[in-house]
Amino acid sequence: MATDEDAPSQGRRTALKCMLWAGTGVMWTVAGGVPRSVLLGGDGAQAATPGGLSFVQISDSHIGFANPPNTNTPGTLQEAIGRVNAEKGNAALMIHTGDVSHLSRAAQFDTAEQIIKGAGLETHYVPGEHDVLEDDGKPFFARFTKGGPNGWYSFDQQGVHFVGLNNVQDLKAGGLGNLGHEQLEWLEADLKGRSASQPIVVFAHVPLWLVYKDWGWGTDDGAQAVSYLKRFGSVTVLNGHIHQVMQKVEGSVAFHTARSTAFPQPAPGTAPSPGPIKDVPAGQLRALLGVRKVQLVASGKELAVVNDTTLAG
Amino acid sequence: MRLRPAILAGTMACALLTGVRARAEGATVTIDNFAFTPAEITVSPGTTVTWLNRDDIPHTVTDAAEPRAFKSPPLDTNDSFRHAFTTPGTYHYFCSLHPHMQGTVVVR
């Protein structure tokens, strides 16, 4: 968990940590910026009242990766999409928070696109660093972010404002993820004039908050982006990159990272490097991969529900 | 340039056979666990340095200075990259995907 001054209180931090290991069947309710969790099937499941917007997040499909612990990343992406189909309900759309491919190759993009189409949901992508290895990312943007030639864009859906950001290019030696001046100016202008009561969902590949500096898990100018978001009453920031679930709350801004559909990575500092966890016990891989469903309830104080599901459940 | 593993193996075998002279002409930096090893090397002018990626994750070798004197393509597992350093100086480089990975080549 993050250890900076804005980290949640000890009690909440402990609760969050427990959720990290619980793995499946946990529904997150973020009310007024304060998350609480309930087991699926309990009263909380009904709290997600019909009529609100719901959507699905998948991340880090890494098509092209074929090493331990997963030599079949198309297969696990297919399973994830199967899970989405089974549980999507009235989901309006899906977001993919980057690293669609492992090496930015056209065939890898093709494979991912074909499998993801199977969800039958309009899907909005942002690039991961593995997606922009060729020609400054142009092949990715032409295919996956048609509304954003540089990989960033926004749109509205049922009153919720979605902002997709690109923090994986023009990285500096010794630095972290990077948004850059041009994108920050665009973001400030995009949010200007919007009502503070409009729910905002921001999605980007690398966490916008500092998860772990030694492994580069953060965004150098992420705090600048968050400063533009703080006046809004409900902000949900969804990231990928670290292949595990983590949460943090700062005022009305709730940060969440998602599981990968390809392979797990270690908790910060628990391994020599952030590389894939290779020695996953037989049969346990799917408990470490997953998809996420988010529900935004328009009425009352319930602002967002995040339900993480593993492929093993 | 980028070498396939078979070619690299051949190059290394030659280096072993020719002994001292080869060591004077070449140097190798390996990439393991998201780190360049050794992180700093000192070579004489004209030395070709070879980087070998032994991680399961792709990396690059990118000059930190602008304009860049060298930048590798993405190196997949067991791919390598070579660059000849002709001009004395200190060259800081990093991985453009994982910029916390940094290294230095001193040419003198």
The mean per-residue pLDDT over the stretch A96-119 comes to 98
Band (pLDDT 50/70/90 cuts) for residue A313 is low
DSSP A246-271: EEEEETTEEEEE---SS---PPTTSS
Predicted confidence at residue A305, as pLDDT, reads: 56
Using CA atoms, how far apart are residues B11 and B17, in angstroms rounded to an integer?
Answer: 10
Band (pLDDT 50/70/90 cuts) for residue A307 is confident
| Architecture of the CATH domain A10-310 | 4-Layer Sandwich (3.60)
Question: Minimum mean pLDDT among A26-35, A66-75, B25-34, B89-98: which range?
Answer: A26-35
- Averaged pLDDT of chain A: 83
Answer yes or no: is pLDDT of A128 > 80.
Answer: yes
The mean per-residue pLDDT over the stretch B61-83 comes to 97
Residues A70/A288, Cβ–Cβ less than 8 Å: no
Sign of the CA dihedral with B7 first, then A62, A75, and A70 last: positive
Band (pLDDT 50/70/90 cuts) for residue A242 is very high
Among B74, B96, B100, the residue with its CB nearest the CB of A174 is B100
CB atoms within 10 A of CB A156: 10
Please tell me the distance in Å from B19's CA to the nearest CA on chain A: 33
Structure tokens at A59: 């991340």
Please tell me the distance in Å from B17's CA to the nearest CA on chain A: 33
Band (pLDDT 50/70/90 cuts) for residue A88 is confident
What is the per-residue pLDDT across A49-59, written as a single tens digit (0 to 9) for each?
445 788 899 99
Counting one residue from chain A and one from chain B, the pairs whose CB atoms sit within 8 A come to: 57
Question: Minimum mean pLDDT among A5-19, A89-103, B12-26: which range?
Answer: A5-19
Answer yes or no: is pLDDT of A3 > 70.
Answer: no
Answer yes or no: is pLDDT of B13 > 70.
Answer: no
Ordered by where they begin, the domains of chain B are: 2-107 (2.60.40.420)
Please tell me the distance in Å from A300's CA to the nearest CA on chain B: 42
Predicted confidence at residue A282, as pLDDT, reads: 83
Beta pairing partners, A70:
A67
Q: Which residues of A touch B99 (CB under 8 A)?
A: 171-176, 216
The mean per-residue pLDDT over the stretch A79-87 comes to 91
Among B33, B76, B98, the residue with its CB nearest the CB of A272 is B33
Answer yes or no: is pLDDT of A22 > 50.
Answer: no
What is the per-residue pLDDT across A181-194, written as a single tens digit (0 to 9) for each?
999 999 999 999 99
Predicted confidence at residue A90, as pLDDT, reads: 86
Q: Which residues of A touch B92 (CB under 8 A)?
A: 173
Question: Minimum mean pLDDT among A95-109, A293-307, B79-93: which range?
Answer: A293-307
Predicted confidence at residue A179, as pLDDT, reads: 98
What is the per-residue pLDDT across B37-56, written as a single tens digit (0 to 9) for each?
999 999 999 999 999 999 99
Q: The tokens 């709730």 sit on which residue?
A: A254
Predicted confidence at residue A89, as pLDDT, reads: 86
Q: Which of A60, A73, A133, A212 to mutate to test the interface with B (most CBs of B within 10 A)?
A: A133
Predicted confidence at residue A19, as pLDDT, reads: 31
